[in-house]
Amino acid sequence: MNNRQLLISLWTMVVKEIRRFLRIWPQTLVPPSITMTMYFIIFGNLIGSRVGEMHGISYMSYIVPGLIMMSVITNSYSNVASSFFSNKFQRSVEEMMVSPMPNWVILGGFVIGGAARGLGVGLIVTLVSFFFTDFSLHHPLLTLSVVIMTALLFSIAGFINALLAKKFDDISIIPIFVLTPLTYLGGVFYSIDLLPDVWQNIAMINPILYMVNAFRYGILGISDIPVTGALIAIAVFIVVFWSLALWMLNRGKGIRS
Amino acid sequence: MAEPALSIRGLTKVYGNGFEALKGIDLDVGQGDFFALLGPNGAGKSTTLGIVCSLVQKTAGQVKIFGIDIDKDFAKAKYHLGVVPQEFNFSQFEKVEDIILTQAGYYGMSMKEAKPRSDRLLKDLGLWDKRSGAARMLSGGMKRRLMIARALIHRPKLLILDEPTAGVDIELRRSMWEYMRRINREEGTSIILTTHYLEEAESLCRNIAIINRGEIVKNTSIRELLTELDTETFLLDLAAPVETLPVLDGFELERVDAQQLSLSVRKGTSLNDAFEQLSAQGIKVLSMRNRANRLEELFVSMTSQPDASSDIDGAPSTSAKETAS
């Protein structure tokens, strides 16, 4: 395929993915918005008013970046996991496999589509948060870089999950038993300074902690961890996961007999 | 000499469980041919076609599509391929038109180029009125036609049809045959067809390969193959019941029921002789039909082995008979 054809095929993939989650917006866009509104009301407003400040910032403002990031992570991941697995299940993945599209275009299409949903939901949650608190971006470019990279990373992770999945249960195991605990323990609702030393050290091996804190730094200017290190770590994870996903796709793992 | 549309050499496939689905088959399909690949379930048809269109990984062997080795430049080879699989393999929730246009996008076709082509295919295949509806709302026959439209959107030179008329009613089946004949004749599209309707293969195809247990047991033209038929069996409907089985000199006769006989006629034997003898014995024949499709008889003889399980139905039939697939 020449470059123009590659661009057309990638664009087709992305449009197809975005069309999918927009078509089922009551399942993809509304529930996370309602859940996050509940977090804002209960944790931010009701409980938060008794918690007081964290790092000199109101608790409501403190949790906003974490909740936005949590939405981005879970939606990017679940979009690609469920979309690609549905394609496997309905065998429509064969439409792509018989075409001359290179595998990186297929992977790229799903990943960009998943990131689009993650960022879309993140934007909705951001807009909802303005009903509860005001904030301005401390480092706009950093904020944008972190959220986009995180969305891409978890989209790729969702793709790997879907490639390996053999039944629908397999695409919910990782989000429930791995992603959710890591996100909750990733400093969304608290600063790790509050943890005992031992748990602080354990928390430092949680990759989501770095993403949440880097994003929080971009918005509020405060972080529990060095931001540069976090950016590098996310970039390395993206390269490793992308390479792994592409290798699996090239080998036909989970899709070719 | 023009490269074959499809050339297969020594193609072998051993699945992970050790099952040897293909045992080094060789096959050529000429450009512009209408080719039937027949075989019982599990014979290796779908594995062969799956390898050709990259859905199955081969263990060994060489596949060339219009001279392009798939191991060297599969992407280029895929431009020449259109695939209509056995099972529905599109998103049931997408709109009919979107499915076709998305496929065009996968081949790098711009919307400007794809839209008129899609419109024409939708009209030609009787899907125009359904183009804005979700694919799940289509009938089974329409879903099959949708897959044909999707496979043709990028103007492939080789179309693979894996049981395209399974579960389709006779009227629709015949209109699909006509469409396939048209694209083969007018656009020069080479077509490979697998089917369990042997009448379909006999009616549409010029050349044929029969595959059984991972090996090609016959590869010839339909005309040549039919000349190999030694015996044809006809069912005779009688005007009145017969109590005892008549004896005909030079023919084998079986009693199906009181008013129906099965007559086996060897190649070169005149049917007139049989009718004369029946008339002489006062037996009046009202109608006659083939016991089984002619190709079907050959197929069964070539693929039936003591423990082989063919699901080609050898029951009396002049019309298409659906079998499990």
B187 shares a domain with B84: yes
A63–chain B nearest CA distance, Å:
38
B109 shares a domain with B90: yes
Looking at the domain assignment, is residue B26 inside a domain? yes
DSSP character at residue B140: H
B132 shares a domain with B57: yes
> Given an 8 Å threshold on Cβ–Cβ distance, is B85 in contact with A90?
no
Residues in chain B within 8 Å Cβ distance of A96: 106
B107–chain A nearest CA distance, Å:
6
Looking at the domain assignment, is residue B304 inside a domain? no
Q: Name the average pLDDT for chain A.
A: 92
For A43-89, write each residue's pLDDT tens digit: 888 888 888 888 888 888 899 999 999 999 999 999 999 999 999 99
Q: What is the pLDDT of residue B64?
A: 95
B111 shares a domain with B74: yes
A98–chain B nearest CA distance, Å:
6
Q: What is the pLDDT of residue B294?
A: 66
Nearest CA in chain A to B156: A99
Please report, for the domain that includes residue B263, its CATH number. 3.30.70.1560
Please report, for the domain that includes residue B115, its CATH number. 3.40.50.300
Final residue before a domain boundary, out of B226, B244, B272: B226
Looking at the domain assignment, is residue B25 inside a domain? yes
What is the rounded average pLDDT of the residues A92-106?
Answer: 94
Q: Is the pLDDT of residue A136 over 90?
A: no
Q: What is the pLDDT of residue B163?
A: 86
Looking at the domain assignment, is residue B315 inside a domain? no
B121 shares a domain with B81: yes
For A160-171, write each residue's pLDDT tens digit: 999 999 999 999
Q: Which of B106, B152, B159 to mutate to test the interface with A (most CBs of A within 10 A)?
A: B106
> Given an 8 Å threshold on Cβ–Cβ distance, is A101 in contact with B79?
no
A92–chain B nearest CA distance, Å:
4
Nearest CA in chain A to B151: A95
B255 shares a domain with B242: yes
Q: What is the pLDDT of residue A110?
A: 97
For B215-263, write each residue's pLDDT tens digit: 998 888 888 877 776 777 888 999 998 888 888 888 888 888 888 888 8
Looking at the domain assignment, is residue B49 inside a domain? yes
Q: What is the pLDDT of residue B308?
A: 41
CA B10 vs. chain centroid, Å, equals 23
Q: What is the pLDDT of residue B313?
A: 33
Q: Is the pLDDT of residue A225 over 70?
A: yes
Considering only the beta carbons, identify the residue of A12, A23, A98 that sits closest to B105: A12
Specify the number of domains making up chain B.
Answer: 2
B121 shares a domain with B236: no
Final residue before a domain boundary, out of B184, B211, B226: B226
DSSP assignments along A169-216, one per residue: THHHHHIIIIIHHHHHTTTSSS-GGGS-HHHHHHHTT-HHHHHHHHHH
What is the rounded average pLDDT of the residues A159-184?
Answer: 91
B68 shares a domain with B83: yes
What is the rounded average pLDDT of the residues A215-244?
Answer: 92
3-state helix, strand, coil in chain A (%, to 5): 75, 0, 20
Structural domain span for residue B266 = 231-294
User: Above pLDDT 90, what percent of chain A?
Assistant: 65
B93–chain A nearest CA distance, Å:
9
> Given an 8 Å threshold on Cβ–Cβ distance, is B108 in contact with A100?
yes
Q: Kindly give the parts of chain B with pLDDT less than 50.
A: 306-325
Residue B288 β-bridge partners: B236
B193 shares a domain with B49: yes
B236 shares a domain with B209: no
Q: What is the pLDDT of residue B48?
A: 94
Q: Which of A91, A98, A101 to mutate to test the interface with B (most CBs of B within 10 A)?
A: A98
B235 shares a domain with B86: no
Looking at the domain assignment, is residue B166 inside a domain? yes
User: Above pLDDT 70, what percent of chain A?
Assistant: 100
CA distance A209 to A167: 30
Q: What is the pLDDT of residue B256?
A: 85
Final residue before a domain boundary, out of B190, B211, B226: B226
DSSP assignments along A115-157, one per residue: HHHHHHHHHHHHHHHTTT-----SSHHHHHHHHHHHHHHHHHH
Q: What is the pLDDT of residue B305?
A: 56
Looking at the domain assignment, is residue B64 inside a domain? yes
B155 shares a domain with B10: yes
- What lies within 8 Å, CB to CB, of B186 at 6+ separation is none
Q: What is the pLDDT of residue B60?
A: 95
Q: Inform me whether the C-beta atom of residue B143 falls under 8 Å from chain A C-beta atoms.
A: no
DSSP character at residue A221: S
> Given an 8 Å threshold on Cβ–Cβ distance, is B107 in contact with A5?
yes
Residues in chain A within 8 Å Cβ distance of B75: 1, 100-102
